[in-house]
Amino acid sequence: MIEVIEREFPADLVEFVETDCLLLNPLETDDWRIRRIVRDKVIACSQTLPDGLCLMVFEAFRSRARQWDLWNPVKASITKNNPNWSEARIYAESSRWVSPPDGFGSGHQAGAAVDVKLARTDRTELDFGGLMKGLSGMAPTNWPVSIEIRNNRDMLVAAMQRVGMINYPDEWWHFSYGDRLWAEITKRDEAFFAPID
């Protein structure tokens, strides 16, 4: 069981601001708030990318209400497509694609997770295979993909790992620091951040 020690860092949220090497994509949201330490890590990562490349942020902090908005259609789709599954199995499969908003919630709800991809400075996104947030087999980071897509995914993961962020293995775009997922993957007994709302 991972303990959360929120006392280490205040729950203050700061906003991402676009720079030459950090772009914001309003496809998902226009709320660019995130914990300061996570924002600083993402900015540091963006500054280490090869010339001509930048990080594009799609989502950062997510309220519990927004998490429900994402959860409900995923659970409904999985339920519809698998009418013989038990409620427990539907919940478990839904949890692979969207963190359940009940209970502890997601790293986004803690302001500790960010969805990103690589892009060129002209805002042209690199190919990562499949849609971000798509319910497809291509979403897992290590899914068999073309050499170009593999190189893009590996470059993104390596760049984010260099600044202490971890990748959620079922979503090539999702990275976090200090939340329960980060603690679990890095084999820590404690996480720094709990959901804010």
The per-residue pLDDT for range 39-80, each reduced to its tens digit, is 999 999 999 999 999 999 999 998 888 889 989 999 999 999
Query: With bands split at pLDDT 50, 70 and 90, how would you rate the model's confidence at 134?
Result: low
Q: For residues 118 and 173, what is the distance between their CA atoms, to the nearest angstrom?
A: 10
Q: Which residue has the higher pLDDT, 171 or 6?
A: 171
**Per-residue buried b or exposed e for 45-82, using 16+ beta carbons within 10 Å of the residue's own CB:** bbeebeeebbbbbbbbbbbbebbeebbeebbeebeeee
Q: Residue 86: its pLDDT value, please?
A: 96
- Does the pLDDT of residue 166 top 50, yes or no? yes
Q: Residue 8: its pLDDT value, please?
A: 46
Q: In this structure, what are the phi and psi dihedrals at residue 14, rounded to the nearest 5 degrees?
A: -120, 170
Provide the whole-model pTM: 0.87
Q: CA–CA distance from 176 to each of 7, 64, 67, 108, 167 (Å)?
A: 18, 17, 16, 8, 7
Structure tokens, 92 = 């478990």
